[in-house]
């Protein structure tokens, strides 16, 4: 079987859901013939036509607002932001209108907002951010962040079927780097379920997105010096799979929370708080956090690389904690 | 030689600098010397050069992510611009911003902005400050035609008209917002008609002749300066390169691009200069000067140091 890349898995998820349900349609800037800024929707316009792969004018607020309206009227829109950073231009539509529609009226609004996010490509301060915490902070939104092609398709399909608005974070570095054989079938990944990416017994790393791979590399390295690391890929941040996360945390009692977003008030802080509250008696050391420093992303690629919470920084935290 | 000849030669030289500078940047990009994103202005030079030639040193300029031409026309050095594209500490934003984030407070180049449309209200704010002070400066704001759909654009126009701000807003219509032709993103072909809803003066013309650009923008700048009234202008132009370096340009034919190149603003300026008496020696001299300046900028950028972590610390908070 041919291997499928992360971005092709996203496309296959969109395609299969569009075939399954005529209510599903795509909106975004230049997503039709052009296939979107990263070519995620390439070929879908040719297959489904202009009523289901819809180019919008260049705006974010207008697109998300119109998606909400279409959802109220029975559609299941998937909206592409060119870059996750640009979603800030549609903030009101998400945090007020989209997130609070069901709360106000018990009206389901199954809108998926796709956010190509993350750094590592020298794209500078407006094109590199990891904005999951902006949305995890807002009740009424589900937030997912796949790290593998299997979960990229699985979470896409589940997000589209879910009755709630879902913020779908897709990491640009993984688009063409991550590949796997997906096989056939209806590949869903349930929302709210974490995945044990690697089993271990000494230290537990909790993470999602690009840093899952960095953590796995760090775990392989740590194993050489006899430190066994369990890596949990959260996959869904909201709702959090507390059962899996807490079990993995209690198993080792030593926890490192890793994320690419900046540290202060990042989603990691929420994890640390819950663990301190609900797993305190199982902890054998401080809960460490490896994240991006509280700084905007620099354009200079080498400097950016130094700041990203990659393998070396994770390994350092794991070793420090293992000594407790 | 006449004053007219000298004035046009100066504009011509600026346009050639922008083009050669960007050709060098594109080369460095394909050599992997620079990363991130690179949006070229090639083909549109008459717009920035003609428009900025109407300003005084104290006027404000605000632009988009396609900002190299604007920066050079505003007098920023080729060295600091190239070094920024290379991500070096000697760049105008110390290598932290890159191609889309040029800035020079001294020249009142108030920045290139990498998220479409968000900068237009900010230009209105510069114009407001000038009006409040009574200091007579004008703000010039550039955006692409795609940005006309963004709410921020309309909010800024609303404000500029209501408060009678000395703001000249220039929509550079290069026909494609990324890969989508204008007809698919806007219900009107002429974006300057948006001014009607705000009871604002408007203009629209082609940017093939840098002197025409200068004259028409100049009239709007004078209106802003003398009467404190805003103007919305659509400049019709065309970019020869892709939206960015990663754009293969499949949404238009090679024939279309070639046809547009035949009416090139630099070639047109050369023809006008020759009609005014300029000979081969004049153009050879300009080419030589510009080549030396661009080579110098590339060498400077190449040899400059990279920014270190301490810089990030220093520049996160005031």
Mark whether A23 and A143 lie in a shared domain: yes
Mark whether A143 and A200 lie in a shared domain: no
Q: What is the pLDDT of residue B1?
A: 59
Total domains in chain A come to: 2
CA distances from A161 to A83, A191, A318 (A): 24, 10, 38
Q: What is the pLDDT of residue B35?
A: 84
> Does B111 reside within a domain?
yes
Q: What is the pLDDT of residue B147?
A: 95
Mark whether A199 and A166 lie in a shared domain: no
Find out whether B154 and B126 touch, Cβ atoms under 8 Å: no
- 8-state DSSP, A60: S
Query: Tell me, what CATH number does A202's domain have?
Result: 3.40.50.920
Rounded to whole angstroms, how far apart are CA atoms B219 and B135?
A: 19
Percentage, residues of chain B above pLDDT 70 = 100
Rounded to whole angstroms, how far apart are CA atoms B249 and B260?
A: 15
Find out whether A40 and A80 touch, Cβ atoms under 8 Å: yes
Q: Place A184 in a pLDDT band, splitting at 50, 70 and 90.
A: very high
> Does A188 reside within a domain?
no
Q: What is the pLDDT of residue A1?
A: 64
Mark whether A245 and A153 lie in a shared domain: no
pLDDT of A316 above 90: yes
Q: What is the pLDDT of residue B101?
A: 95
Range of the domain at B23: 3-177+184-302
Catalytic residue, from A127, A171, A213, A259: name it. Answer: A127
Higher pLDDT, B35 or B267: B267
**Which has the closest alpha carbon to B239: B179, B293, B170, B186?**
B179
* Distance (Å) from the alpha carbon of B261 to chain A's nearest alpha carbon: 23
* Contact: B36, A124; criterion CB under 8 Å: yes
| Cis ω before B196 (30° cut-off from 0) | no
Q: Place B315 in a pLDDT band, splitting at 50, 70 and 90.
A: confident
Q: Is A282 a catalytic residue?
A: no
Give the domain-ending residue among A180, A211, A232. Answer: A180
> Does B160 reside within a domain?
yes
> Does B310 reside within a domain?
no
* Contact: B87, A300; criterion CB under 8 Å: yes
* Contact: A126, B93; criterion CB under 8 Å: no
Give the domain-ending residue among A123, A146, A180. Answer: A180
Tens digit of each residue's pLDDT (9 = 90 or more) over A133-164: 999 999 999 999 999 999 999 999 999 999 99
* Contact: B35, A85; criterion CB under 8 Å: no
Mean pLDDT (chain B) is 95
Q: Which residues share a beta bridge with A290?
A: A258
> Does B155 reside within a domain?
yes
Q: Residues with Cβ < 8 Å from A152, sequence gap 6 or more? A: A6, A7, A9, A10, A13, A146, A170, A174
> Does A283 reside within a domain?
yes
Tens digit of each residue's pLDDT (9 = 90 or more) over A205-216: 999 999 999 999
* Contact: A89, B35; criterion CB under 8 Å: no
Tens digit of each residue's pLDDT (9 = 90 or more) over B272-313: 999 999 999 999 999 999 999 999 999 999 999 999 988 888
Mark whether A44 and A166 lie in a shared domain: yes
Q: Compute the Cα dihedral for B24, B25, B29, B34 and give only its sign.
A: positive
**CA geometry: angle B226, B134, B107, nearest 5 deg:** 85
> Does B307 reside within a domain?
no
- From the list B37, B185, B307, which residue is nearest A123 (CB)? B37
> Does A87 reside within a domain?
yes
Q: In terms of C-beta distances under 8 Å and separation of at least 24 residues, what long-range contacts does B283-288 make, across chains too?
A: B286/B9, B286/B12, B286/B13, B286/B16, B287/B16
B-chain residues within 8 Å CB-CB of A58?
116-117, 146-147, 149-150, 177, 185
The stretch A269-277 carries a mean pLDDT of: 97
- 3-state SS string for A122-177: CCCCCCCCCCHHHHHCCCCCEEECCCCHHHHHHHHHHHHHCCCCEEEEEECCHHHH
Percentage, residues of chain B above pLDDT 90 = 88
Mark whether A53 and A147 lie in a shared domain: yes
Mark whether A138 and A201 lie in a shared domain: no
The stretch B159-163 carries a mean pLDDT of: 98
Q: What is the pLDDT of residue A243?
A: 98
Query: Tell me, what CATH number does B252's domain have?
Result: 3.40.50.970
Mean pLDDT (chain A) is 97
Tokens, residue B59 = 């006027």
> Does A190 reside within a domain?
no
* Contact: A124, B251; criterion CB under 8 Å: no
Rounded to whole angstroms, how far apart are CA atoms B21 and B76?
A: 12
Mark whether A28 and A146 lie in a shared domain: yes
The stretch A19-30 carries a mean pLDDT of: 97
Mark whether A67 and A213 lie in a shared domain: no
Find out whether A157 and A168 touch, Cβ atoms under 8 Å: no
pLDDT of B318 above 90: no
> Does B309 reside within a domain?
no
CA distances from A148 to A209, A310, B57, B211 (A): 8, 17, 53, 56
Rounded to whole angstroms, how far apart are CA atoms B230 and B225?
A: 9
Range of the domain at A20: 4-180
B-chain residues within 8 Å CB-CB of A122?
35-36, 87, 98
Mark whether A126 and A275 lie in a shared domain: no
Mark whether A174 and A61 lie in a shared domain: yes
Q: What is the pLDDT of residue B248?
A: 80
Q: What is the pLDDT of residue B249?
A: 85
Total domains in chain B come to: 1
Buried b (16+ CB within 10 A) or exposed e, A234-265: bbbbbebbeebbbebbbbbbbbbbbbbbbbee
Find out whether B244 and B39 touch, Cβ atoms under 8 Å: yes
**Which has the closest alpha carbon to A181: A213, A155, A148, A159?**
A148
Chain A residue with the nearest C-alpha to that of B247? A37
Q: Looking at the complex, does the CB of residue A117 fall below 8 Å from at least one CB of chain B?
A: no
> Does B65 reside within a domain?
yes
CB atoms within 10 A of CB A324: 11
> Does B313 reside within a domain?
no
Q: Which residues of chain A from 49 to 108 reach within 8 Å of chain B, CB to CB?
A: 55-59, 61-62, 85-86, 88-89
> Does A186 reside within a domain?
no
* Distance (Å) from the alpha carbon of A91 to chain B's nearest alpha carbon: 13
Tens digit of each residue's pLDDT (9 = 90 or more) over A79-105: 999 999 999 999 999 999 999 999 999
Q: Which of A41, A82, A264, A300 is the best residue to mutate to test the B interface, defined by the most B CB atoms within 10 Å of its own CB? A: A300
Tens digit of each residue's pLDDT (9 = 90 or more) over B72-115: 999 999 999 999 999 999 999 999 999 999 999 999 999 999 99
Rounded to whole angstroms, how far apart are CA atoms A208 and A193?
A: 12
Tens digit of each residue's pLDDT (9 = 90 or more) over B190-223: 999 999 999 999 999 999 999 999 999 999 999 9
Tokens, residue B302 = 């190449």
**DSSP H or E run through A81:** none
Find out whether B87 and B95 touch, Cβ atoms under 8 Å: yes
Chain B residue with the nearest C-alpha to that of A122? B36
Chain B residue with the nearest C-alpha to that of A127? B114
A-chain residues within 8 Å CB-CB of B180?
29-30, 32, 34, 55
CB atoms within 10 A of CB B230: 31
Q: Looking at the complex, does the CB of residue A30 fall below 8 Å from at least one CB of chain B?
A: yes
Mark whether A173 and A27 lie in a shared domain: yes
Rounded to whole angstroms, how far apart are CA atoms A322 and A316?
A: 10
Query: Tell me, what CATH number does A13's domain have?
Result: 3.40.50.970
Chains A, B: CB pairs < 8 Å: 124
* Distance (Å) from the alpha carbon of B107 to chain A's nearest alpha carbon: 23
**CA geometry: angle B43, B44, B48, nearest 5 deg:** 145
> Does A218 reside within a domain?
yes
Chain B residue with the nearest C-alpha to that of A50? B184
Rounded to whole angstroms, how far apart are CA atoms A297 and B39?
A: 19
Q: What is the pLDDT of residue B179?
A: 85
């Amino acid at each position: 079987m041919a291997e499928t890349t992360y971005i092709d898995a996203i496309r296959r998820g969109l395609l299969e859901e569009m075939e399954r349900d005529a209510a599903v349609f795509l909106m975004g800037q230049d997503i039709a013939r052009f296939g979107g800024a990263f070519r995620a929707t390439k070929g879908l316009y040719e297959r489904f036509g202009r009523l289901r792969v819809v180019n919008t004018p260049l705006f974010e607020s207008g697109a998300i607002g119109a998606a909400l309206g279409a959802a109220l009227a029975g559609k299941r829109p998937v909206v592409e932001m060119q870059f996750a950073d640009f979603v800030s231009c549609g903030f009101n539509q998400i945090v007020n209108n989209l997130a609070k529609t069901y709360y106000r009226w018990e009206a389901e609004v199954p809108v998926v907002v796709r956010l190509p996010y993350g750094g590592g490509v020298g794209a500078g301060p407006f094109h590199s951010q990891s904005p999951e915490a902006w949305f995890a902070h807002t009740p009424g939104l589900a937030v997912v962040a796949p790290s593998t092609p299997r979960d990229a398709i699985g979470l896409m399909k589940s997000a589209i079927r879910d009755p709630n608005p879902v913020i779908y974070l897709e990491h640009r570095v993984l688009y063409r780097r991550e590949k796997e054989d997906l096989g056939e079938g209806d590949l869903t990944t349930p929302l709210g379920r974490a995945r044990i990416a690697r089993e271990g017994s000494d230290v537990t790393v909790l993470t999602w997105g690009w840093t899952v791979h960095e953590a796995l590399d760090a775990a392989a390295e740590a194993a050489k010096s006899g430190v066994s690391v369990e890596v949990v890929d959260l996959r869904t941040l909201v709702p959090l799979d507390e059962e899996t996360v807490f079990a993995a945390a209690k198993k080792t009692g030593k926890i490192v929370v890793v994320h690419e977003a900046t540290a202060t008030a990042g989603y990691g802080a929420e994890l640390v708080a819950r663990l301190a509250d609900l797993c305190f008696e199982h902890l054998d050391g401080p809960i460490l956090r490896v994240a991006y420093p509280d700084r905007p992303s620099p354009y200079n690629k080498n400097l950016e690389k130094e700041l990203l919470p990659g393998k070396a920084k994770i390994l350092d935290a794991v070793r420090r904690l293992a000594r407790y | 030689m006449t004053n007219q000849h000298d004035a046009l030669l100066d504009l011509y030289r600026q346009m050639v600098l922008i083009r050669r500078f960007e050709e060098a940047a594109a080369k460095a990009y394909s050599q992997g010397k620079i990363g991130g994103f690179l949006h070229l202005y090639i083909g549109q030079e008459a717009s920035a050069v003609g428009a900025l030639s109407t300003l005084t040193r104290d006027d404000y300029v605000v632009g988009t992510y396609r900002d190299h031409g604007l920066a050079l026309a505003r007098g920023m050095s080729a060295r600091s611009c190239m070094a920024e594209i290379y991500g070096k500490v000697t760049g105008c934003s110390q290598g932290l911003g890159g191609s889309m984030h040029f800035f020079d407070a001294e020249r009142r180049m108030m920045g290139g902005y990498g998220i479409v449309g968000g900068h237009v209200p900010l230009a209105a704010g510069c114009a407001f400050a000038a009006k409040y002070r009574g200091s007579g400066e004008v703000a010039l704001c550039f955006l692409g035609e795609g940005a006309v759909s963004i709410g921020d654009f309309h909010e800024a126009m609303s404000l500029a008209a209501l408060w009678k701000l000395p703001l000249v807003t220039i929509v550079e219509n290069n026909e494609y917002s990324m890969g989508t032709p204008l007809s698919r993103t806007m219900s009107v072909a002429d974006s300057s008609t948006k001014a009607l809803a705000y009871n604002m003066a408007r203009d629209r013309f082609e940017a093939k002749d840098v002197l025409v650009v200068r004259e028409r923008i100049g009239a709007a700048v004078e209106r802003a300066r003398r009467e404190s009234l805003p103007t919305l202008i659509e400049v019709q132009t065309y970019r020869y390169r892709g939206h960015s370096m990663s754009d293969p340009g499949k949404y238009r034919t090679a024939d279309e691009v070639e046809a547009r190149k035949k009416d090139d603003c630099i070639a047109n300026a050369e023809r006008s200069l020759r009609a005014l008496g300029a000979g081969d020696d004049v153009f050879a001299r300009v080419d030589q000067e510009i080549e030396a300046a661009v080579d110098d900028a590339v060498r400077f950028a190449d040899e400059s140091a990279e920014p270190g972590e301490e810089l990030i610390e220093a520049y996160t908070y005031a």
